[in-house]
């Protein structure tokens, strides 16, 4: 699956955004966060999705920029909330500048994202506004649920899935739907692509939970066991704690200050509770739903294969 | 000038906003900040402006809600940036909840404001989106200039006026223009009302600067001399410092820890430099421009008088 033609075109447009403006302390942080990399999955999906229905993927460039700007707005504000000092190995905006600058630049990015998404053919503007606003609200709700879960001892698995749907998956769905509609798809295909994004996004997030505890340090790119040390309410933990004995053991280890011992002990509990199999089952279910979403599309088989390959590549990161 | 019919209708609609939703930590702060009062000048201007061109001011209710929600979003985020603990004598959102909640609820308010402003007749939606986005960007820029001025020793008076135009005045202009257009005004009137808002807003802010140093404590509602103690770059200070001797004296007093002495000394410098007269001159100029904006309107004299009275009432707060 080669996304490089989208990537190259997108990178040019990001550099051409009118961000060399005054006051510099407002605009420079936006150039900075958009410039420090990231996989840019959302805008690439938007352009790919447009390309499947049109002979010109560039038609969806404003929407691709919108989802990329919006995604980076959420990262910028999340980093303040989490007091994160690094993002992609660079200092976060509130560290490099300060917190007021980070709040305000983020606010402006939300406005700039709206402006881009509305650079659409007139007949799509109302629908795009509604979809983008709903997506943005969903993501705020997802972020709040995620923060609330830090306080709740034991969210239900269904609540957790709903949280990751809101926080992560809807923006993938929105990116695909915007691109498809600009490209000229019908509503049914656009909705199937939206749901493909949702199902792929949820599966992706469960894999991320798995890798955080059972991944390979060098390929995962983060230290293994971070979620365990933070007592984070992940898919693994929630499933394991459905067993009362395991729940008691995990709550015992929550207070442990011996990091290596704690990680090893909790991973062992996860293994004993068959959490890896249950996670893999769930991943397979969402992946299967995503495949069905694609099979329903009014596209030829080679186009469908591109999307199936994309889901495959996103979900193949194995433990 | 009686705005109570608009006020009553507005208060009902604010209470009816769909904010009793989950997650509560996201929506409750929005109800809270919208519920703790304030003069609601912007939404009332929006409804009044609509009423002048229409037989149903309620048509502009979504736009009135939009500017009120937007204004409170800026207050919420500004309070975090300023580390303010009180707003209208109540704890600020980041104090009553916490900072992550305040950032995220504010973000959601910006989205909710967009949603309201777009509840407009289809033929106005594109124009409203553009006007509202431009206004929102202006306000972010104004807030950043205001923060930057804390670092710059001596901004030009023209830079200061541009800052208050962006930070304060454009939202008054936007409120009036949105209301007028919903009410059915032509573009020329809508633009004159926008400029009326700008000119009135700038005059209002200069008066605010005057009152902060020379007002009556009980009627101003804040402690007199706050700007002086904070070495804030106000209209008064910038004008006074155009004189080199006064500049040196003010810079000497900037470091003083004796609050009463500092306030008295700097007020005396302002008086010696005729700053009050210069401020009053500037206020009169902007007020005069605002009056001209009204006289250009395609409205009958009694309607014009309502707007002139409004400007009068806003600007009559004397020193």
Instruction: Say if A244 is an interface residue toward chain B (CB within 8 Å).
Output: no
pLDDT band at A316 (very low <50, low <70, confident <90, very high): confident
pLDDT by residue for chain B (319 residues), tens only, comes to 789 999 999 999 999 999 999 999 999 999 999 999 899 999 999 999 999 999 999 999 999 999 999 999 999 999 999 999 999 999 999 999 999 999 999 999 999 999 999 999 999 999 999 999 999 999 999 999 999 999 987 899 999 999 999 999 999 999 999 999 999 999 999 999 999 999 999 999 999 999 999 998 777 667 899 999 999 999 999 999 999 999 999 999 999 999 999 999 999 999 999 999 999 999 999 999 999 999 999 999 999 999 999 999 988 875 5
Instruction: Say if A84 is an interface residue toward chain B (CB within 8 Å).
Output: no
- Compare CB distances from B104 to A108, A129, A143 and report the shortest one's residue: A143
Please indicate whether, in this complex, the C-beta atoms of B23 and A133 are within 8 angstroms of each other.
no
Q: What is the pLDDT of residues A74-129, one digit of tens each?
A: 999 999 999 999 999 999 999 999 999 999 999 999 999 999 999 999 999 999 99
Give the CA distances from residue B130 to residues A70, A91, A119, B71, B127, in Å, rounded to whole numbers and listed in that order. 18, 34, 11, 17, 5
Tell me, yes or no, if the pTM score tops 0.95.
Answer: yes
Q: What is the pLDDT of residues A253-286, one digit of tens each?
A: 999 999 999 999 999 999 999 999 999 999 999 9
CA A276 to chain centre: 22
Residue of B nearest to A131 (CA): B115
pLDDT higher than threshold 90 for residue A138: yes
CA A128 to chain centre: 20
Of B111, B114, B160, the C-alpha closest to A106 is B111
Cα A125 to Cα A112: distance, rounded to the nearest angstrom: 15
The residue count for chain A? 319
Of B247, B288, B254, the C-alpha closest to B270 is B247
Instruction: Say if A220 is an interface residue toward chain B (CB within 8 Å).
Output: no
Cα A8 to Cα B188: distance, rounded to the nearest angstrom: 45
Q: Tell me the mean pLDDT in the region A172-183.
A: 98
**What are the helix and strand counts (H, E) for chain A?**
17, 2
Is residue B6 within 8 Å of B44, Cβ to Cβ? yes
- Out of A7-11, A34-38, B246-250, B269-273, which region has the weakest mean confidence (pLDDT)? A34-38
Q: Tell me the mean pLDDT in the region A219-245.
A: 92
Q: Tell me the mean pLDDT in the region A292-298.
A: 98
Q: State the CB neighbour count (10 A cutoff) for residue B311.
A: 22
In this prediction, residue B217 carries a pLDDT of 78
B137: left (phi over 0), alpha (psi -120 to 50) or beta: alpha
Cα A263 to Cα A265: distance, rounded to the nearest angstrom: 6
Cα B114 to Cα B70: distance, rounded to the nearest angstrom: 8
The alpha carbon of residue B148 is apart from the nearest alpha carbon of chain A, in Å, by: 8
Of B98, B64, B54, B60, the C-alpha closest to B80 is B98
B317 burial type by CB count under 10 A (0-12 exposed, 13-18 middle, 19+ buried): middle
Which tokens is A1 given? Answer: 């699956």
Q: What are B86's strand-pairing partners?
A: B91
Q: What is the DSSP letter of A168?
A: I
Which tokens is A289 given? Answer: 């739903």
- Compare CB distances from A136 to B111, B137, B145 and report the shortest one's residue: B111
Which tokens is B62 given? Answer: 């979504």
The vertex-B315 CA angle with B309 and B316, nearest 5°, equals 85
Cα A39 to Cα A30: distance, rounded to the nearest angstrom: 17
Instruction: Say if A144 is an interface residue toward chain B (CB within 8 Å).
Output: yes
Residue of B nearest to A104 (CA): B140
Q: State the CB neighbour count (10 A cutoff) for residue A137.
A: 19
Ordered DSSP codes for B20-43: --SSHHHHHHHHHHHHS----HHH
Of A137, A69, A104, the C-alpha closest to B76 is A104
Instruction: Say if B157 is an interface residue toward chain A (CB within 8 Å).
Output: no
A156 neighbourhood in chain B, CB within 8 Å: none
Cα B51 to Cα A285: distance, rounded to the nearest angstrom: 57
Cα B317 to Cα B275: distance, rounded to the nearest angstrom: 18
Is residue B39 within 8 Å of B25, Cβ to Cβ? no
Ordered DSSP codes for A304-315: HHHHHHHHHHHH
Please indicate whether, in this complex, the C-beta atoms of A110 and B111 are within 8 angstroms of each other.
yes
CA A138 to chain centre: 13
Q: State the CB neighbour count (10 A cutoff) for residue B39.
A: 9
Over chain A, what is the mean pLDDT?
96
Cα B83 to Cα B46: distance, rounded to the nearest angstrom: 31
Which tokens is A36 given? Answer: 């420090």
Q: Tell me the mean pLDDT in the region A178-186.
A: 98
Instruction: Say if B103 is an interface residue toward chain A (CB within 8 Å).
Output: yes
Interface A-B, measured as beta-carbon pairs within 8 A, has a size of 98
- Sign of torsion over alpha carbons A43, A48, A52, A55: positive
Is residue B169 within 8 Å of B198, Cβ to Cβ? yes
pLDDT band at A318 (very low <50, low <70, confident <90, very high): low
Cα B2 to Cα B202: distance, rounded to the nearest angstrom: 23
Ordered DSSP codes for A78-125: HHHHTT--EETTEE-HHHHS-HHHHHHHHHHHHHHHHHHHT-S-HHHH
Cα A180 to Cα A55: distance, rounded to the nearest angstrom: 12
Mutate to test the interface with A, among B23, B151, B171 (most CBs of A within 10 A): B23
Q: Say what angle helices A41-53 and A61-81 make with each other, to 10 degrees.
A: 160
Ordered DSSP codes for B179-219: HHHHHT--HHHHHHHHHHHHHHHHHHHHHHHHHHHHS-HHH
Of A78, A93, A88, the C-alpha closest to A31 is A93
Token pair 């005069």: residue: B288
In this prediction, residue B2 carries a pLDDT of 84
Residue of A nearest to B151 (CA): A25
- Sign of torsion over alpha carbons A271, A274, A277, A279: negative
Q: Where are the beta strands (DSSP E) in B4-102?
A: 86-87, 90-91
Is residue B132 within 8 Å of A114, Cβ to Cβ? no
Q: Is B184 helix (H, G, I), strand (E, B) or coil?
A: coil
């Amino acid at each position: 699956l080669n996304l490089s033609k989208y990537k190259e075109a997108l990178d040019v447009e990001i550099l051409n955004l009118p961000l060399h403006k005054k006051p510099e302390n407002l605009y420079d942080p936006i150039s900075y966060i958009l410039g420090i990399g990231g996989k840019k999955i959302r805008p690439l999906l938007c352009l790919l999705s447009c390309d499947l229905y049109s002979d010109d993927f560039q038609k969806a460039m404003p929407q691709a920029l919108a989802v990329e700007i919006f995604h980076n707005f959420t990262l910028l504000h999340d980093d303040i909330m989490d007091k994160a000092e690094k993002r992609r190995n660079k200092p976060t905006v509130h560290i490099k500048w300060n917190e007021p600058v980070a709040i305000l630049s983020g606010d402006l990015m939300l406005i700039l994202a709206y402006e881009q998404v509305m650079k659409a053919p007139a007949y799509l503007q109302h629908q795009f506004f509604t979809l983008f606003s709903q997506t943005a609200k969903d993501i705020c709700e997802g972020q709040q649920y995620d923060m609330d879960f830090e306080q709740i001892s034991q969210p239900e698995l269904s609540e957790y899935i709903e949280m990751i749907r809101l926080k992560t998956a809807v923006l993938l769905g929105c990116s695909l739907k915007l691109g498809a509609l600009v490209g000229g798809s019908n509503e049914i295909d656009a909705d199937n692509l939206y749901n493909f994004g949702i199902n792929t996004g949820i599966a992706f997030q469960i894999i991320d939970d798995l890798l955080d505890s059972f991944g390979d340090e060098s390929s995962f790119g983060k230290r293994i066991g971070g979620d365990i040390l933070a007592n984070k309410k992940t898919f693994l933990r929630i499933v394991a704690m459905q067993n009362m004995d395991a729940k008691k053991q995990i709550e015992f280890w929550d207070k442990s200050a011996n990091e290596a011992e704690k990680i090893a002990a909790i991973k062992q509990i996860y293994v004993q509770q068959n959490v890896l199999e249950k996670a893999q089952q769930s991943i397979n279910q969402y992946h299967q739903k995503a495949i069905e979403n694609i099979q329903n599309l009014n596209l030829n088989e080679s186009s469908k294969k591109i999307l199936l390959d994309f889901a495959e590549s996103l979900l193949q990161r194995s433990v």
